[in-house]
Amino acid sequence: MARGEVAAFPALRPHQRPAWHMFLVQLAALALWNAGREALPSDADEWTNLLRALTPNHTDDGPWHLVVEDNAQPAFLQPPAPVGLKWSPVPTPDALDLLITARNHDLKQTVARDVEAEDWLFALVSLQTSAGYDGAGNYGIARMNGGSSSRPMMGLVPARGEDCRLNPSKWWCRDVQRLLHERREGKGSEFGTEGGPALLWCLDWLEGSQLDLRTLDPWFIEVARRVRLVQSERGLSAVRAVSKAARVDAKVYRGYVGDPWAPVHINEHKALTLGGGDFDYRKLADLLFGGEWQVPLLAQLGPNEDVTDSVLVAEALARGNSKTEGFKSRVVPVPDRAVRLFRSAAAGKLSKLQLDEIKAFDEALRNAIALLSGRGDWDQVGKGQYASSRSARERFDRVADRLFFSHLWWRLVAEDSGDTDAQETAGRGFRLALLDAAHAELETSMSSIPCPSIQRPRAETRARRAFRSRVWKLDPQLQQTGKQEEIDAEL
C-alpha cells in the first residue's frame, strides 16, 4: 500500500470496508509514531520491524498470529482469556462477523465454508472494532453512541480515473499522514494518553475488569469480544465466550472519544447514530453544513494538502436493537475546484438555499397532485389527497438526491469566482433540473390518479396551473424557459 500497489481487497465484504480501512490506518500510525518516523516505508521488512516494536514483550510474534494454542497468551485481535470461560463454537467467518441475520432469507447465515485465512482476518477486524451490543455478555465498542448505534466513517478520499474509483492505497497513505501531522502539531490527544496502551488484544482481560479510556492511546485498537481461532484437520474455526462488562469503560462518553472518522454533535457531545436512516443529501448536508455537527478530522482538507480529484465517503452499518438495518454507503465526487471550498461559509449558505428550493418544488408537486386527486376543488383536498402524492414525491426526491451535490459544487465555484452571471446561471441550472424532474412526476401522475372523466379536464388544468404558479413564485425567470411553452401547450 505504501508503494501504491494495492488496488482492491477482493475478499473484503462491502460492510467490512470501513473497519478494515480504519484498522490499517490506526495500526500504521501507531507503528510510525512509536518509532518516531514520519515517512511511510516502502519495504516489507521495515514494516515488520515497526509492528514488532509495538509488541516488544512478545518475541514469538504471538500477537500477530491468527492461531495461538495457549489461551493465556494473545493472538491477533484475540486477547488472553482467563480460565473457566464457557466457549461456544463458531464454524465460519460470517458467523463470527458482526452482521445480524435473524431469518436467513436476506443474507444467508453460516455459508462461508470454503474460506481462506483472510476471511477470518476480515471478520475479526470487523467484529472487534465495530461491534455493538448483541445481548447479555456481548458488548460493543467504545467508539459508538450506545450499543444499538454504529461506528460511522466519514472521510475525504483520493480517487482515480474519471469515474472517481476509490484508491485504497492512496486513501490509506493520506489518512495515516494526516493523523501523524495532527499529532506532531499537538492536536487530537485530548481523549487519551499518547503512548498509552494501544493494542488492546495484548492486555489481560480479567472477568469484570474494564480499561479506563483516559489511559489509552487516542488511536487505540479495541477488541469488543472474547474470541479465539483454532486450527484443526478441517482448517480454521473459532470459539467465543461472553464477558461481564464491556472491555473499555466508555459508556458515559457516548462515542465522543476522538475518533477521526466520526461526526460528533457539537452541543450534545455524542457520535453520530445513523439508525435506520441513510446518507442521503439531507443527512450529509446536515452533517457537513448544518452547523450542529463537528466534521471529522479526516473529512477535512489538511493544511497544504495536495489534492486533485477526491470523493467524500460516508459509510456505516445501520443498527437497531439487536438487529442491523443494512450497510449504508454514500460516495460523493468532489471536484478539485470545490474541494478547498466545501467547508466554507458559502457552502453552508448555498446548501441551505438548495434544500429550500427542493422543498418548494416538492410542495408544488404535492399540492398539484393533491388538487388533481380532489377533482380540481380545493375544498375536496384533505389528508387522503395529499397522501396520493407520496410515490411521486419519493421519486422526485431521489432525483434531487442525485442532483444535489454536483450542482452545489457548481454554484460554490461560481460563488467563489465573484461572477454574478455565473452565479445566476448555476442557480438557475439547479432549479431547471428540479423543474424537469417535478414536472415529469406531475405528468406521470395525471394518468394514475383516479378522477371522474367528466371532471378530469378541469382537475388537470387546475393542477398544472397550481404547479406553475408555485414554481414561478420561486423563480419568475423560469417563465422564460421552454418549460413554460410545454405547460401552456398542455393547458
Please give the pLDDT value at position 321: 64
pLDDT above 70 covers what percent of the chain? 92
Q: Give, in order, the Cα–Cα distances in Å from 16 to each of 59, 146, 182, 288.
A: 30, 20, 26, 24
Please state which of the ranges 31-40, 155-164, 187-196, 262-271 shows the lowest mean pLDDT: 155-164
Please give the pLDDT value at position 447: 82
Mean pLDDT of 411-425: 93
Mean pLDDT of 233-250: 93
The 10s digit of each residue's pLDDT in 9-59 is 999 999 999 999 999 999 999 999 999 998 999 999 999 999 999 999 999
Please give the pLDDT value at position 105: 41
- Is the pLDDT assigned to residue 114 strictly greater than 80? no
171 pLDDT tier (thresholds 50, 70, 90): very high
Please give the pLDDT value at position 323: 65
Higher pLDDT, 186 or 255: 255
- Is the pLDDT assigned to residue 187 strictly greater than 90? no
Please give the pLDDT value at position 160: 67
Please state which of the ranges 50-59, 112-121, 347-356 shows the lowest mean pLDDT: 112-121
Mean pLDDT of 220-239: 93
Mean pLDDT of 318-330: 78
**Spatial CA neighbour of 372 closest among 448, 299, 291, 477:** 448
Rounded to the nearest integer, the mean pLDDT of the chain is 89
Task: Answer yes or no: are the C-beta atoms of 271 and 259 closer than 8 Å.
Answer: yes
Task: Answer yes or no: are the C-beta atoms of 238 and 212 closer than 8 Å.
Answer: no
The 10s digit of each residue's pLDDT in 144-153 is 998 788 899 9
The 10s digit of each residue's pLDDT in 54-92 is 999 999 999 999 999 999 999 999 999 999 999 999 999
- Residues with Cβ within 8 Å of 46's Cβ and at least 6 positions away in sequence, in order, are none
Long-range contacts of 339-344 (CB under 8 A, 24+ apart): 339/156, 339/301, 339/307, 339/310, 340/301, 340/307, 341/412, 341/413, 341/416, 342/288, 342/409, 342/412, 343/288, 343/295, 343/300, 343/301, 344/412, 344/416
pLDDT above 90 covers what percent of the chain? 67
What is the residue whose three cell numbers read 468532489? 334
How far apart (Å, rounded) are the C-alpha atoms in residues 333 and 336?
A: 10
Please state which of the ranges 62-66, 182-186, 254-258, 379-383 shows the lowest mean pLDDT: 379-383
Q: 39 — alpha (psi -120 to 50), left (phi > 0) or beta? A: beta
Please give the pLDDT value at position 76: 98
Spans of all domains in the chain: 14-339, 345-490
Please give the pLDDT value at position 277: 81
**Spatial CA neighbour of 40 closest among 199, 172, 195, 209:** 172
Mean pLDDT of 320-343: 82
Please give the pLDDT value at position 254: 94
- Residues with Cβ within 8 Å of 349's Cβ and at least 6 positions away in sequence, in order, are none
How far apart (Å, rounded) are the C-alpha atoms in residues 483 and 435?
A: 8
Please give the pLDDT value at position 476: 77
Higher pLDDT, 316 or 381: 316
Mean pLDDT of 185-212: 90
How far apart (Å, rounded) are the C-alpha atoms in residues 326 and 315?
A: 11
Mean pLDDT of 196-202: 97
Mean pLDDT of 448-455: 83
Q: For residues 378-389, b (16+ Cβ closer than 10 Å) or e, as one string? A: eeebeeebbebb
Mean pLDDT of 373-397: 89
Please give the pLDDT value at position 489: 47
The 10s digit of each residue's pLDDT in 460-486 is 899 899 998 888 888 777 766 544 444
Please give the pLDDT value at position 420: 93
- Is the pLDDT assigned to residue 158 strictly greater than 90? no
Q: List beta partners, residue 315.
A: 153, 329
Mean pLDDT of 256-273: 95
Please give the pLDDT value at position 164: 66
Mean pLDDT of 230-243: 92
In single-letter form, the type of residue at position 257 comes to: V
- Residues with Cβ within 8 Å of 469's Cβ and at least 6 positions away in sequence, in order, are none
Determine phi and psi for 320, rounding to 5 degrees.
Answer: -125, -155
